[in-house]
Every structure is written in structure tokens, then in C-alpha cells.
Chains A and B, each alone.
Chain A
Amino acid sequence: MAEQTQILLEQADLGRTIGRMAHEIIEKTGSPGDLVLIGIRSRGVHLARRLARKIEDIAKLAPPVGVVDVTPYRDDRTQEEARAAVGAFEAQVAVDEKTVVLIDDVIYRGRTIRAAMEAVERLGQPKRILVAVLIDRGARELPIRADIIGKNFAAQDGQRVNVLLEESDGVDRVTLAHWQRRGGD
């Protein structure tokens, strides 16, 4: 159970951060016409939709948004479980020859992103894959990097970064809680 909670980002910070990330995505990917955003379920999807709106405001072109659920690809599931899960993509997008930006709320051990890359590969052959996350909390277990980062925060092992978003939690806020870790990112 949570012992204590500390606020990392307030609503206004979150809005500014997402705005800056949208600019950075445009800057790093060049032509917005080739851009595809893929949100990782579930908060990554809300972030992807927000980023797509911001990008539309800036570049006058809304990138398509795909949704991926990586649970069937996660390496901590057994082969049998993985086989039983059908179709990781809930909203498919064409990725061939596109610049794909994978979007998640928090990057931690890197396993979710690796699984998402695997799922994208099943969709087609993108020109490039980048990763955008709201919070990079460090402590990677795989050689995966985030290209666009909202905020770096080196969290301790027993701490938990909670990203709360209006769409799912009724409020925009990022908090840090001392939590008993239950595994996973």
C-alpha cells in the first residue's frame, strides 16, 4: 500500500510537457505526412491522441493513431497464454515506409517497448521507430532508449510512478508513491 505520495507534475506542467513533446516529435521526424503514432494501452493511447491533436494544431496535419495492447507479447507470459491471445492491435494503422512513434506513459525496464516493437513488426516495415514517453524513470533491463522524454525522473525500485490522465482517471497529474512493487513496468 502507498505509504506516501508526492506530486511530480501538476495539470499545467503536464499540458506544457505534452506540448513540448509534440514539437519535439515534429522536429525529430521531419515530414509529418509520414508520421504514425501508436499508443500503448491504456494511458499511452490517451497520450497519443493528445499528441496527435497538438501535432495537428502545429503542423495542420493529424497523424493517424494506432492502438497496441502488448499483453500477448510480454515476455513474462507463458507461450500458451501468448498463443491464446488473438491480435494485439486494437486499432490498426498502415506502418510501411512510415516513421512510427511508440507512445507510453512511463518507460522503466524497457520490456513493454520491446514487446510493442515486435507487435509493430507484425503490421509492416516502418522506415524508423522512435519512442516517446511522458516519464523516463531509468533502471532499464534492455538496451532500449526513449527518443522523446517529457520528464526524466530516476525513481527507486520500491517507488511507483503513477500517471493520472483526465480520460481515465478524471484528473491530470503525475505522482510518485512508495509502493510495494508487484512486477512489470
Chain B
Amino acid sequence: MRNLISIADLTNDEIEEIFSLADGADKLRTDRSASGQIMATLFYEPSTRTRLSFESAMQRLGGSVISCSDMKASSTAKGETIADTAKVVSSYADVLVVRHNWDGAVQAMAEHAEVPVINAGDGSHEHPTQTLCDLYTLRREKGDLKGLTVVVCGDLKNGRTIHSLVYALARFGANVVTLAATGMELPQYVIDRLEREYDYAMGPVASDDLSAVVTETDALYLTPKQPHQLALFTQVDKVIQARLNTMASGLRYDAFYMTRKQKERMKDGSAANSYPTIGPDFLNEKRFQNTVVMHPLPRVDELSPEVDKDWRGIYFKQAAYGVPVRMALLKFLFDQRSVTPSASSKETGAYRDSLSSGSKCRNLNCVTLKESVSTQRRMELYFADEIGVLISRCGYCDHRFKVELIGHVKSKRYCAYDIAFAETVRAWMRHGELAVFDSIKEAEELGYEPYKTGPQRVLMEEAEISAALADVSEQILRDCQDMDRLTIVGVRSVGSRLAQRIAGEIETRLKRKPELGEIEIYGSGNELKRIPPADPDAGPLNLKDREVILVDDVIFTGRTVKSALSIIFRSGRPKSVRLAVLIDRGHREIPVKPNYVGKNIPSSENERVRVRLHELEQGEQDQAVIYSIVNPIDDVETLARNEERAALS
């Protein structure tokens, strides 16, 4: 038996096979495929339908179920990691059904479980078994899925059911029209996946055709000031496109798939009013006479009661298929138990990240950020198109990010990525020599140097740095309200060294040592710890109610400080945080402001300011320097210009 994490884990043929098992409901009723098997349901989020239908399906197949009524009140509350939970429960059951509020958490648990894991919804990522029920309902009502046009409405951003559903619809060749509530459009990573993996693109349909969905009836409520974004996604398929083009009276809509209006997300009246709803006007519209209305339930008030009585409102049927479809799925998986899963790697050709790369997922709800100990750092790199846009994709939550900084592992050089280097980067990928970074600071922390630098200018010499630090230390002491609460925290690695020096200054003045800590933003280790050698009896660093002085060498955009603040606040609520930097070079992108500055230095954006300390650079003196970064693309352009000039003369 194997895992079911994403709808992509099943091929179209396998889905058809599951559906034909579900069709034979009578046969299923006497089936005992799960006899002697135990299912454990682990739900970290509330659920009624999914959980009950899984448990019912398992018992009807002759198996039994164990579960924990509230995972939040279980050992999780005592701090058990999801990895440990998965390992432990594996010895109690033969299959785990998991729902979790973090994106990618079920994947992480599957990696630690010794039995198969089925995803019953992870964060806003996927919900494959709901999709199976949706597809099955559609197929029962409309026959072949190929060529159907399905309008998905409402919250397309947070709805995990929507994400799994649109991938599946795309795979079966259905058209997808998106009708999002304001600010809840389909996320870019979902659109990217539609384009890249299923060859889908925005359809060639006149905007009138689409707006007809909303203008010809009042069924779908729209506020005139905030037009909903309508887009048709369709397969890049000549036959389908030709059909779309020749349809005189516009698209035929086979189904509307509504999602729940998440009231808790919008207490604000105007936002709630702009949520699409389906009412009696919709039912009276001729255009929609064969359009069925689906909804994953629970609903709020986005469907009016009239729809319940109409044959087109099929959401209760959809819910009723929950048990037979899940029975069919379980039978399918149990029957396959002895079969080793086919090597259907969906990311063939993609580069698997190695330790060389520093890039990490930026989706804050991703399991890799929420509980890094239960995951391995796994970003996959690929080219989005022929032009050479480089994308990194999180192996857990599927979020995708454009790569902007790359490095060469052997030469330890970094530069900005440009599509002109696509070929070189491909070669580096093949040889495992490519590194990817989220920021220049990260590249430098990992020991990479710029590809090429302009002439270097010294900003501060050793004596000036010492004087500045002494001055900053003096000011810190002046502002400090309670020495017993003072904690000096440096950002690794240069900031930590500066923090140690400031602590030294304070010690000489007061004859006592302030508490010292270190924040690690780049790297996989402990994000907040004491600076060694620390007193072994001191215990872990806790910043609750402390007067924290955050120390870094250079402040630029302010993003490092923002990350550091998040880490500090995760450790407890400090009484105050003040920021000390050796150099402020301007160009802020985040509204942070240092309280203590050694020196202000105007700089241009493509310059780098580096602080070199003798503790970190062997045999060197303390020095702050500035230089410009030359990117290879500038070299390429200069070369081209020179060649042009030579050709002209």
C-alpha cells in the first residue's frame, strides 16, 4: 500500500478504477478488504464529514478504527513533534488518515510513518479525497469529464479543496473558470503548476463571454467597484480551443463549484457582501438550465435555500458519495498492498536540491518553517519555460519562488541570476554545483564571495570601529533601565562578534557580564541560543520580559532585522528590543530603525558594505569596506558593446 498525499499520486487510470469500484456499491457492501486492519485517524483540525466518512468506510470494509478525539489535547500539547507522533502511531495501526493545519505536514508525517498515510487536508495545500468525491459526483451527473466547463467560485486562495480539484480537472481535460472573491484569487503557484504540468493556459475567450456569467444574472453578487477577476483556464489543445472559438452563444457552463464563505475571515461588511452567492435568479437563467451546483460543505449563506429544492443543487449527493468513494479508495489501496508503487515521479527531470543550496521555503504556513526538525530541506529547482526563468519549489507545500541569487559550489562565488545564464546553470545543476540563496547576506554567511567586485574603499579602520562600539555601549548603558534584565543578542556571524565586544565593553564598565545570545537566520540549526562558552547551568535562552539589544553589523533593507524580530518574539514577549548596528547604509524596505548607529554611510543599491573582524578573518585587521558588485550579465553586455564597437570601426 502507498501514500496518498496529493491528487497527483494517482494516475487518471487509477482514478477511473476507483470510480468503477464506487459504481459497484452493492459489491462493495459485502467486501471485506480491510478485515483485520486498523485505521488511525489523526485530526489536528476540526472535521465532521471527512473523518466520519473515512471511519464509516473503513468499518464497512471490515476494518476497525482508532482515533484521538482532539489531537491538540494529546501529546502534541506536550510538545511532541509530528514526526514522533507518526512513528509511534505507526505501531498501533495499518493506515493513518491525517488532517493538519500546516501546509505539507502530511507529507512530513508520511516520511516518518512506517505505514501508509492518507491526506485528509493539509493547511491550504491539498485535500485529494474530497477531490475524488467531487470528480465522482461530476462524472455521475455529467458523464465524461473531458471538455466540461467548471466554474470555481469564492475563496480560491485558501481553499485546499479547490487546489486539488483544479489540478484534477486539468488532468481530465476539463475547462476551469475562476471566479474569485476579492483578494482570494488562485495563488500564483497553482497557476504555475497548471501551466507547467498540465499545459493549461488562460483561454482565448472574449471577456464578454466570461462576464456573461455574472452580468446576465444577478445570481452572482458583484460590487461594481471591485470587479471579480474572471479567467478561463483551458488545455492548450487545438480541438478544445477551436470549439471555444466557434461557440456563438458563449461558454456552456456544466457546473458551479462554490466554496465556503469563511465568515471568520471577514467580519468586515463590504468584504462579506462581495462574496459570490447563488440564488433564485441563477436558477431562472436559461443559460444555467443544465448547470449543476456543487459545494464541499459546510456552507454558510452562499447558497440560497431555493437551490436545495432544485435538481441542480447536488451538494448533498456529493456528500453522500463520501463513503462509497472512500470505500473504493481504501479497497483500491488495500488490494494494491503487495504491489510496489510504479515509479511515477511527477518531477522527473527536476533538479533535487542538495546541501549546497541555501534556499528555503518562504510560505510561512509551510511545515518546513513550522517544525523544521520533522522535515528535510528540500527545494526542487526547474526552469519555468524556454526563456529560462528559474523556479524553486518546496517539496512539502508546493509553493514556488523565482530564483534571484545563485552560486557556484566549487568556486564559492555568487551572482544575480539572469536568463542569459540558463545554459551554464543547467550544466551546474547536472554536476551538482549549483547553489541558490534567498539573500546576499545568506550567500556571504555560507562563505560565498561576489562573482566580481569593483574597487574597494575602506570606510572604517580598526580604531574607528572600536571607538564606535565603545560609544554604542555607553549609550546602551545610559538607556538601560534594569541591568538584570539586559540581554545582548547578535545576528550570526559578524553581529554575534560585535555583540560579544559590546558585552565586553559593558563588563569593563560595570564589572559584570550581561546575558549574551545569538540569532541564526541562515542555516538549519538552532535559531536562538546562548553564545558559547555559556554557563552550563544557565538553561536555554529565554527573552521573556528581557530588555533585548539586537546587534548586527550593517543595516540595509531591514529584512534581516524583521526576521530576527520574529525569532525573538517566538521565544517570548520581551520588555523591549533596541537595535544597535555598526553601519546604517540606508535603502530601507521594512519600517525598522536602529536605536544606536556607529556610522551612517550613504551607498548605492548595487554596492556591498562588509565588516571584517579579526576574530573571523585570520590575520586580518578589523575593517569596514565598501565595493560595488559586478554581475556577469554586466560583463556580457560590456563584451557585446565592445564587439559592436569593434565591428563598427
Q: Which residues of A contact B (CB under 8 A)?
A: 45, 64, 66-67, 69, 75-76, 83, 86-87, 89-94, 96, 102, 113-114, 117-118, 121-122, 125, 127-131, 141-147
Contact = CB atoms under 8 A, between A and B. Distances in A.
A74 B566 CA distance: 12
A145 B271 contact: no
A92 B591 contact: no
A67 B188 CA distance: 22
Contacts of A142: 565, 576-577
B516 interface: no
Interface in B591-624: 591-595
Given A96-B188, A130-B591, A143-B593, 4 more contacts: A67-B271, A90-B265, A141-B575, A144-B592
**Most chain B CB within a 10 A radius of its CB, from A118, A127, A142:** A142
Nearest to B266: A90
Interface of B: 72, 157-158, 182-185, 188, 262, 264-268, 270-271, 362, 364-365, 550, 561-562, 565-566, 569, 573, 575-579, 589-595
Contact of B592 (A45, A94, A141, A145): A145
Contacts of A90: 265-268, 271
Contacts of A127: 589
Contact of B265 (A64, A92, A122, A143): A92
B157 A91 contact: no
A86 B565 CA distance: 23
Contacts of B575: 141
15 contacts: A64-B183, A67-B271, A86-B262, A91-B183, A92-B157, A93-B183, A113-B591, A117-B562, A122-B364, A122-B365, A142-B577, A143-B565, A143-B578, A143-B593, A146-B591
Given A117-B562, A118-B566, A143-B550, A125 B268 contact: no
Nearest to B550: A143
Given A87-B262, A117-B590, A118-B566, A143 B577 contact: yes
A110 to B, nearest CB: 9
Contacts of B576: 141-142
Contact of B266 (A91, A117, A122): A91
Closest 3 interchain pairs by CB? A92-B183, A145-B593, A143-B579
A71 to B, nearest CB: 11
Contacts of B550: 143
A114 B575 CA distance: 14
A78 to B, nearest CB: 10
Nearest to B183: A92
B564 to A, nearest CB: 10
A143 B548 CA distance: 11
Given A75-B569, A122-B365, A143 B267 contact: no
A45 B569 CA distance: 26
Contacts of A66: 183
Contacts, number: 84
Given A96-B188, A141-B577, A142-B576, A131 B591 contact: yes
B265 A129 contact: no
Contact of B561 (A121, A131, A143): A143
B591 A145 contact: yes
A91 B365 contact: no
A86 B264 contact: yes
B591 A67 contact: no
A111 B53 CA distance: 44
A96 B593 CA distance: 23
A11 to B, nearest CB: 25
A125 B158 CA distance: 16
B265 A89 contact: yes
A39 B259 CA distance: 26
A5 B416 CA distance: 57
Contacts of B265: 86-87, 89-90, 92
Contacts of B565: 114, 142-143
Nearest to A141: B576
A127 B590 CA distance: 9
A177 to B, nearest CB: 25
Given A91-B266, A114-B569, A143 B595 contact: yes
A110 B310 CA distance: 54
Contacts of B182: 91-92
B180 to A, nearest CB: 10
Contacts of A145: 591-593
Nearest to B188: A96
A87 B264 CA distance: 7
A114 B257 CA distance: 38
B184 A144 contact: no
A23 B39 CA distance: 62
A37 to B, nearest CB: 13
A41 to B, nearest CB: 9
Contacts of A143: 550, 561, 565, 577-579, 592-595
Contacts of A141: 575-577
A128 B561 CA distance: 14
A142 B566 CA distance: 12
Contacts of A131: 591
A129 B262 contact: no
A118 B364 CA distance: 10
A139 B233 CA distance: 52
Contacts of A94: 183, 185
A121 B362 CA distance: 9
**Most chain A CB within a 10 A radius of its CB, from B268, B271, B562, B578:** B268
B268 A67 contact: yes
A165 B66 CA distance: 56
Contacts of A89: 183, 265
